[in-house]
Copies of this chain bind each other. A is one copy, B any other.
Amino acid sequence: MPTAALLIIGNEILSGRTRDANLAFLGEELARLGIPLIEARVVADHETAIVAALNALRAEVDYLFTTGGIGPTHDDITTAAVAKAFGLKVIRHPEAVARLEAHYPDAGTLNAARLKMAEVPDGAALIDNPVSAAPGYRIGNVHVLAGVPSIARAMFEALKPTLAAGAPILSRSLAAYVKEGDLAAPLEAIQNSHPAVDIGSYPFARDGRVGAAVVARGTDPATLETVMSKVSTLLDDLGAERLPE
């Protein structure tokens, strides 16, 4: 099964100013493609930190995605770091320049700062940006996306056909007002009987009552149905009131 990792680049995520929205999106999309996200990292806008994380993660997975740091301002240093990680020069990509020229037709608007958004590591292939023209790119197994969620999503849609998908990871869940401590032992027995399915239990509190959502994930629909049928029986045995799906 192919695997993926995500590198989120940006001080604003680590300071708590901005809540990342790309991890959840990419996690869901990649699971659907059968390319599970197995790790994510968040690093600051510091070249050394970005290069170290890039090199660690791209060696570990089939597909590495990065978000953030490809805009026109001085704190956008992702391309310099990616080039350094690969030992490549930064070049101005002619097609990227052409797209920016079309997007900024007025004389003087395509200034040096905006032209920075046409720079890529030498050899990179562009990823379309239907939202605001400035492209992302792929170099090796690294896919460099914008940090703005609407643009990251559009870029991911554009590159999706280039990914070698695996077997889609399906997910089934049941939620009930049940205490995890009462559920734990029999749920573990179900997990042990079905090692190909990954069963998780996630507690929640609602209206002052505690409950748990049991989530089963795997690639075989029949096995998932078997597992969830056992979970359903278990919840009935515990007298647990269900939540609507």
A residues in contact (CB < 8 Å) with B: 10-21, 23-29, 31, 36-45, 49, 53, 71-75, 104, 109, 111-114, 116, 148, 150, 169, 171, 180-185, 187-188, 191-192, 198-205, 215, 217
- Residue among A104, A171, A202 having the largest count of chain B Cβ atoms under 10 Å: A202
Residues of chain B within 8 A (CB-CB) of A13 are 23-24, 27, 40
Q: Are B43 and A14 in contact (CB under 8 A)?
A: no
Q: Are B37 and A14 in contact (CB under 8 A)?
A: yes
Q: How many copies does the complex hold?
A: 2
Q: Are A12 and B215 in contact (CB under 8 A)?
A: yes
A42's nearest neighbour on chain B, judged by CB, is B40
Cα separation A113 to B201 with both chains bound (whole Å): 13
21 contacts between A and B (CB under 8 A): A11-B198, A12-B200, A13-B23, A13-B40, A14-B27, A15-B27, A16-B25, A17-B28, A18-B24, A20-B23, A23-B42, A38-B49, A72-B180, A72-B181, A73-B180, A73-B200, A74-B187, A111-B181, A111-B184, A112-B185, A113-B180
Q: Are A16 and B31 in contact (CB under 8 A)?
A: yes
For the A-B complex with A16-B37, A73-B201, A111-B181 known, give 18 more contacts whose Cβ atoms are closer than 8 Å: A11-B198, A11-B200, A11-B217, A13-B24, A16-B24, A16-B27, A16-B29, A16-B31, A39-B49, A73-B180, A73-B183, A73-B200, A74-B184, A74-B192, A74-B199, A75-B201, A104-B181, A112-B185
Q: Are B74 and A215 in contact (CB under 8 A)?
A: no
Q: Are B72 and A184 in contact (CB under 8 A)?
A: yes
Cα separation A40 to B75 with both chains bound (whole Å): 19
Q: Please tell me which one of the listed residues B14, B72, B171 contacts residue A39 in the complex, with CB atoms under 8 A apart.
A: B14
Q: Are A14 and B38 in contact (CB under 8 A)?
A: yes
